[in-house]
A = this chain, B = another copy of it.
Protein backbone atom coordinates (compact mmCIF):
# COMPACT_ATOMS: atom_id res chain seq x y z
CA UNK A 1 0.00 0.00 0.00
CA UNK A 2 2.89 2.37 0.77
CA UNK A 3 4.41 1.60 -2.65
CA UNK A 4 1.13 2.65 -4.22
CA UNK A 5 0.70 5.86 -2.22
CA UNK A 6 4.33 6.81 -2.87
CA UNK A 7 3.70 6.63 -6.62
CA UNK A 8 0.48 8.58 -6.22
CA UNK A 9 2.28 11.31 -4.24
CA UNK A 10 5.29 11.59 -6.55
CA UNK A 11 3.01 11.75 -9.61
CA UNK A 12 1.13 14.62 -7.97
CA UNK A 13 4.39 16.44 -7.16
CA UNK A 14 5.50 16.09 -10.80
CA UNK A 15 2.08 17.16 -12.13
CA UNK A 16 1.35 19.90 -9.58
CA UNK A 17 -1.57 20.02 -7.15
CA UNK A 18 -3.93 22.54 -5.58
CA UNK A 19 -4.22 23.46 -1.91
CA UNK A 20 -6.65 25.25 0.37
CA UNK A 21 -6.92 26.10 4.05
CA UNK A 22 -8.81 23.98 6.56
CA UNK A 23 -10.87 25.28 9.48
CA UNK A 24 -7.85 24.93 11.79
CA UNK A 25 -5.86 27.14 9.38
CA UNK A 26 -3.64 24.25 8.19
CA UNK A 27 -3.24 23.38 4.52
CA UNK A 28 -4.99 20.51 2.80
CA UNK A 29 -4.28 19.45 -0.80
CA UNK A 30 -6.15 17.27 -3.26
CA UNK A 31 -3.30 14.77 -2.71
CA UNK A 32 -4.22 14.36 0.98
CA UNK A 33 -7.69 13.31 -0.05
CA UNK A 34 -6.58 11.05 -2.92
CA UNK A 35 -4.09 9.17 -0.70
CA UNK A 36 -6.57 8.68 2.15
CA UNK A 37 -9.27 7.48 -0.26
CA UNK A 38 -6.84 5.04 -1.88
CA UNK A 39 -5.77 3.55 1.46
CA UNK A 40 -9.37 3.25 2.67
CA UNK A 41 -10.36 1.43 -0.53
CA UNK A 42 -7.45 -1.01 -0.15
CA UNK A 43 -8.11 -1.62 3.55
CA UNK A 44 -11.83 -2.18 2.92
CA UNK A 45 -11.04 -4.71 0.16
CA UNK A 46 -8.44 -6.68 2.16
CA UNK A 47 -9.73 -6.27 5.71
CA UNK A 48 -13.48 -5.59 5.53
CA UNK A 49 -13.88 -6.06 9.29
CA UNK A 50 -11.28 -3.45 10.27
CA UNK A 51 -12.00 0.11 11.35
CA UNK A 52 -10.31 3.23 9.94
CA UNK A 53 -9.43 6.55 11.59
CA UNK A 54 -8.03 9.05 9.09
CA UNK A 55 -7.17 12.72 9.16
CA UNK A 56 -9.38 13.87 6.30
CA UNK A 57 -12.49 11.61 6.34
CA UNK A 58 -14.89 10.26 8.98
CA UNK A 59 -13.90 7.28 11.11
CA UNK A 60 -15.44 3.93 10.22
CA UNK A 61 -15.75 0.69 12.22
CA UNK A 62 -15.09 2.47 15.51
CA UNK A 63 -15.97 -0.63 17.53
CA UNK A 64 -13.63 -2.98 15.64
CA UNK A 65 -10.83 -4.80 17.47
CA UNK A 66 -8.39 -3.89 14.67
CA UNK A 67 -8.36 -0.31 13.40
CA UNK A 68 -6.07 1.51 11.00
CA UNK A 69 -4.92 5.10 11.41
CA UNK A 70 -4.05 7.15 8.32
CA UNK A 71 -2.31 10.48 7.97
CA UNK A 72 -2.24 10.73 4.17
CA UNK A 73 0.20 13.67 4.06
CA UNK A 74 1.90 14.40 7.37
CA UNK A 75 3.80 17.67 7.00
CA UNK A 76 1.35 19.33 4.61
CA UNK A 77 2.99 22.70 5.15
CA UNK A 78 6.30 21.30 3.86
CA UNK A 79 4.50 19.46 1.07
CA UNK A 80 2.67 22.57 -0.16
CA UNK A 81 5.98 24.46 -0.54
CA UNK A 82 8.07 21.65 -2.04
CA UNK A 83 10.14 20.98 1.10
CA UNK A 84 10.68 17.19 0.90
CA UNK A 85 9.98 16.55 4.61
CA UNK A 86 6.46 15.12 4.34
CA UNK A 87 5.19 11.57 4.41
CA UNK A 88 2.33 9.11 4.56
CA UNK A 89 1.69 7.57 7.99
CA UNK A 90 -0.13 4.28 8.38
CA UNK A 91 -0.63 2.25 11.57
CA UNK A 92 -2.67 -0.69 12.80
CA UNK A 93 -4.14 -0.64 16.31
CA UNK A 94 -5.07 -3.76 18.26
CA UNK A 95 -7.52 -2.28 20.74
CA UNK A 96 -5.66 0.92 21.61
CA UNK A 97 -2.17 -0.52 21.08
CA UNK A 98 -0.29 0.27 17.85
CA UNK A 99 1.10 -3.05 16.55
CA UNK A 100 2.24 -2.02 13.05
CA UNK A 101 3.54 1.30 11.70
CA UNK A 102 4.76 2.66 8.38
CA UNK A 103 6.32 6.10 7.78
CA UNK A 104 6.81 6.58 4.05
CA UNK A 105 8.63 9.73 2.88
CA UNK A 106 8.46 9.95 -0.93
CA UNK A 107 10.56 13.15 -1.08
CA UNK A 108 13.49 11.44 0.67
CA UNK A 109 12.89 7.95 -0.80
CA UNK A 110 12.80 6.74 2.81
CA UNK A 111 10.51 4.21 4.45
CA UNK A 112 10.71 3.30 8.13
CA UNK A 113 8.39 0.50 9.26
CA UNK A 114 7.89 -1.98 12.05
CA UNK A 115 5.42 -4.54 13.34
CA UNK A 116 5.12 -6.43 16.60
CA UNK A 117 7.35 -9.47 16.51
CA UNK A 118 8.61 -8.69 13.01
CA UNK A 119 11.18 -6.03 13.94
CA UNK A 120 11.72 -2.62 12.40
CA UNK A 121 13.31 -1.66 9.08
CA UNK A 122 14.54 1.45 7.28
CA UNK A 123 14.41 0.98 3.50
CA UNK A 124 14.43 -2.74 4.10
CA UNK A 125 17.49 -2.86 6.38
CA UNK A 126 16.97 -4.09 9.94
CA UNK A 127 16.77 -1.24 12.45
CA UNK A 128 17.98 -1.72 16.01
CA UNK A 129 18.79 1.44 17.91
CA UNK A 130 22.11 1.74 19.72
CA UNK A 131 21.96 4.01 22.76
CA UNK A 132 24.00 7.23 22.69
CA UNK A 133 27.69 6.26 22.22
CA UNK A 134 29.09 9.64 23.29
CA UNK A 135 28.16 12.63 25.45
CA UNK A 136 24.36 12.77 25.50
CA UNK A 137 24.37 16.58 25.33
CA UNK A 138 26.05 16.43 21.90
CA UNK A 139 23.12 14.58 20.36
CA UNK A 140 20.81 16.51 18.09
CA UNK A 141 17.27 16.81 19.49
CA UNK A 142 14.38 17.28 17.07
CA UNK A 143 11.16 19.08 17.91
CA UNK A 144 7.92 19.86 16.17
CA UNK A 145 7.04 23.44 15.25
CA UNK A 146 6.99 26.07 17.99
CA UNK A 147 3.29 26.65 17.17
CA UNK A 148 2.47 23.07 18.27
CA UNK A 149 3.86 23.78 21.73
CA UNK A 150 2.07 27.13 21.84
CA UNK A 151 -1.28 25.51 20.93
CA UNK A 152 -0.68 22.83 23.59
CA UNK A 153 -0.11 25.62 26.16
CA UNK A 154 3.48 24.43 26.64
CA UNK A 155 5.62 27.14 25.11
CA UNK A 156 7.67 27.22 28.31
CA UNK A 157 8.69 23.56 27.73
CA UNK A 158 9.86 24.45 24.23
CA UNK A 159 11.86 27.41 25.45
CA UNK A 160 13.41 25.49 28.35
CA UNK A 161 14.49 22.75 25.96
CA UNK A 162 16.05 25.29 23.56
CA UNK A 163 17.96 26.89 26.46
CA UNK A 164 19.13 23.69 28.15
CA UNK A 165 20.03 21.35 25.30
CA UNK A 166 22.82 22.58 22.99
CA UNK A 167 21.42 21.47 19.61
CA UNK A 168 17.64 21.52 19.22
CA UNK A 169 16.25 21.65 15.69
CA UNK A 170 12.70 21.90 14.37
CA UNK A 171 12.66 18.75 12.27
CA UNK A 172 8.88 18.83 12.34
CA UNK A 173 6.44 16.06 11.50
CA UNK A 174 7.56 12.69 10.15
CA UNK A 175 11.07 14.01 9.39
CA UNK A 176 11.97 14.10 13.08
CA UNK A 177 10.13 10.82 13.69
CA UNK A 178 12.04 8.99 10.93
CA UNK A 179 15.40 10.46 12.03
CA UNK A 180 14.83 9.56 15.70
CA UNK A 181 13.70 6.01 14.89
CA UNK A 182 16.94 5.57 12.93
CA UNK A 183 19.02 7.02 15.79
CA UNK A 184 20.25 9.90 13.61
CA UNK A 185 18.82 12.50 15.93
CA UNK A 186 19.12 11.44 19.57
CA UNK A 187 15.43 11.94 20.28
CA UNK A 188 12.36 13.95 19.32
CA UNK A 189 10.01 16.02 21.45
CA UNK A 190 6.68 16.42 19.66
CA UNK A 191 3.60 17.93 21.30
CA UNK A 192 -0.10 18.18 20.44
CA UNK A 193 -0.22 15.18 18.11
CA UNK A 194 -3.28 13.38 16.84
CA UNK A 195 -3.48 9.60 17.06
CA UNK A 196 -2.66 9.29 13.32
CA UNK A 197 0.53 11.38 13.85
CA UNK A 198 1.90 9.17 16.56
CA UNK A 199 0.59 5.58 16.26
CA UNK A 200 3.05 4.46 13.54
CA UNK A 201 6.00 5.86 15.50
CA UNK A 202 4.93 4.13 18.72
CA UNK A 203 4.68 0.75 16.95
CA UNK A 204 8.05 1.16 15.20
CA UNK A 205 9.80 2.52 18.32
CA UNK A 206 9.00 -0.58 20.34
CA UNK A 207 10.43 -2.87 17.65
CA UNK A 208 13.49 -0.65 17.01
CA UNK A 209 14.43 -0.52 20.70
CA UNK A 210 13.70 3.20 21.01
CA UNK A 211 12.21 4.55 24.22
CA UNK A 212 8.76 6.03 23.65
CA UNK A 213 7.11 8.12 26.38
CA UNK A 214 3.72 9.82 26.26
CA UNK A 215 4.00 12.73 28.70
CA UNK A 216 0.35 13.70 28.46
CA UNK A 217 -2.80 12.80 26.56
CA UNK A 218 -5.45 15.50 26.50
CA UNK A 219 -9.08 15.12 25.48
CA UNK A 220 -11.15 12.07 24.62
CA UNK A 221 -9.62 8.87 23.34
CA UNK A 222 -9.47 8.22 19.60
CA UNK A 223 -9.39 10.94 16.98
CA UNK A 224 -9.98 13.85 19.37
CA UNK A 225 -7.13 13.23 21.82
CA UNK A 226 -3.82 15.09 21.62
CA UNK A 227 -0.56 13.44 22.61
CA UNK A 228 2.66 15.03 23.90
CA UNK A 229 5.45 12.54 23.28
CA UNK A 230 9.23 12.07 23.58
CA UNK A 231 11.03 9.20 21.85
CA UNK A 232 14.48 8.10 20.78
CA UNK A 233 17.67 6.73 22.33
CA UNK A 234 16.95 5.83 25.97
CA UNK A 235 19.74 7.99 27.48
CA UNK A 236 18.67 11.02 25.44
CA UNK A 237 15.00 10.54 26.30
CA UNK A 238 15.99 10.36 30.00
CA UNK A 239 17.88 13.65 29.72
CA UNK A 240 14.94 15.33 27.98
CA UNK A 241 12.45 14.09 30.57
CA UNK A 242 14.63 15.67 33.26
CA UNK A 243 14.59 18.97 31.35
CA UNK A 244 10.86 18.84 30.60
CA UNK A 245 9.44 17.70 33.92
Contacts and interface: CB of A to CB of B under 8 A. Distances in A.
A37 interface: no
A78 B140 contact: yes
A172 B169 contact: yes
B185 A83 contact: yes
B147 A184 contact: no
A145 interface: yes
Contacts of A171: 169
Interface in A59-81: 77-78, 81
A33 interface: no
Interface string A176-212: 0001001111100000000000000000000000000
Contacts of A172: 169
Q: How large is the interface on A (under 10, 10 to 19, 20 to 34, 35 or more residues)?
A: 20 to 34
Contact of A184 (B81, B139, B167, B182): B81
B185 A162 contact: no
A168 interface: yes
A170 interface: yes
Contact of A139 (B81, B167, B183, B186): B81
Interface string A144-161: 011100000000000000
A83 B184 contact: yes
Given A83-B185, A140-B83, A185-B83, A77 B167 contact: yes
Interface in A7-42: none
A49 interface: no
B170 A146 contact: no
Given A167-B77, A169-B170, A170-B170, A184 B82 contact: yes
Given A83-B179, A145-B167, A169-B170, A140 B77 contact: yes
16 contacts: A77-B140, A81-B140, A81-B185, A82-B182, A82-B183, A82-B184, A83-B179, A83-B185, A84-B108, A108-B108, A145-B167, A147-B167, A168-B170, A169-B169, A169-B171, A170-B170
Q: Nearest 4 A-B pairs (CB), nearest first? A: A169-B170, A82-B184, A83-B184, A170-B170
Given A82-B183, A108-B108, 16 more contacts: A77-B140, A81-B139, A81-B185, A81-B186, A82-B182, A82-B184, A83-B179, A83-B184, A83-B185, A84-B108, A84-B184, A146-B168, A147-B166, A169-B169, A169-B170, A169-B172
